[in-house]
Amino acid sequence: MSSRTGRGAREPGPPRGGAAPLIARLLAVAVTALPSAARAEQPPAAPTPQPPAAPASDQAQPAPPATPGPGDKPTPAPAGGEGDELTDADFGVVAPTVSVAPPRGRESLDWIDLAVGLALSSRKFDFESAPGMDAARPRGFRSGWSWRPGATLELRPLARRMRGSAIEGLGMLAEYGRTLGRASAGEPDLARESRLHVALVYRFAVGTSDVQPVFGASAGYLRQQVHILDTSIALPDVAYDALALGADVRIPIGTRRVALCALAHYLVVGDGGELLRPETYGDSSTAGLELGLSLEVRALSSVFVRLAGSYTRYSIEFNGTGMLSNPGAVGATDQYTSGTVSAGLAL
């Protein structure tokens, strides 16, 4: 028994299961003769990813190679998860890896967007005459450029509470602006113009990136009113009450901090004030279109500056049964142009 025991006695060595690393070690020695840029500097028995600055093994590591080695780039773990499985890395072959960053979800829509601004606004009103009746056309009106301060508030209370749901983009919009006086000093103020817009707004952010567009649709009430101050101007006041149906888009330009915004509102006019009363120029049909373009820059994460331009045009058809009706006034166009600089908060 003793002899058997003595014959069976073993020298201290690697534990069972260490045969594979041993073979790998031998192979690794063999491949060092190969002029490969991918020579194995990593311990062959440690196929798990090895960050360069924090070796997982307690075993002393050789000095970093001059050329990129496995220690410079994480290598994938073996599929089986067992340490005794041979992999390409065991033979000094670095499997190509592609590191893909997880998609970054787009931030939720701002729940509040508040801006105050100053606009330069002008109005141009022209009658349209029947063919050949230009001589009978009443005079139009030019307001000149006027200062119009204003404010815009948009609230989306569901943007944070119901993020990811279909109604997170539902919100409310309110805008108001009113002219204060002529931009040219010393010139008389001919008219006072005000504009009020309140609407339900729905915004829909496309895709998963913040640099993808946000589309919007809105429906609301718009009132645009002009009161002629100069009594020498024989043009009736207007006060358009309209259903405003709109669509808009915000397109980030490379980054979410800079964006181009465009909007269009179709205005179904119900009432138009003194000008559109049947006794003035007869029954009328009126509709309007408002187009806007703006550039928004977010200097800080929640502070923005906006440069905007807008154009609104009302088209009026008279049926010619009013007291002021004549062939020179079978219709009219009422145009408003404005440029605005505004600043605000988006949270």
Residues that bind other proteins (CB under 8 A): 206-207, 212-213, 215, 247, 249, 264, 266-267, 285-289, 291, 313-317, 333
Cα(258)–Cα(246) distance, integer angstroms: 23
In the complex, minimum distance from the CB of residue 247 to other proteins, in angstroms, rounded to a whole number: 5
In the complex, minimum distance from the CB of residue 291 to other proteins, in angstroms, rounded to a whole number: 7
Q: Per the structure block, which two tokens stand in for 339?
A: 């440029």
Which amino acid is residue 298, in one-letter code?
R
Residue among 149 and 320 whose Cβ is closer to other proteins: 320
Residue among 145 and 314 whose Cβ is closer to other proteins: 314
Q: How far is CA 311 from CA 44, 116, 151, 157, in A?
A: 72, 19, 18, 30
Residue among 159 and 242 whose Cβ is closer to other proteins: 242
Residue among 32 and 212 whose Cβ is closer to other proteins: 212
In the complex, minimum distance from the CB of residue 201 to other proteins, in angstroms, rounded to a whole number: 16
Q: List the one residue out of 286, 205, 217 whose CA is nearest residue 252.
A: 205
Residue among 72 and 128 whose Cβ is closer to other proteins: 128
In the complex, minimum distance from the CB of residue 116 to other proteins, in angstroms, rounded to a whole number: 29
Residue among 146 and 284 whose Cβ is closer to other proteins: 284
In the complex, minimum distance from the CB of residue 191 to other proteins, in angstroms, rounded to a whole number: 22
In the complex, minimum distance from the CB of residue 225 to other proteins, in angstroms, rounded to a whole number: 18
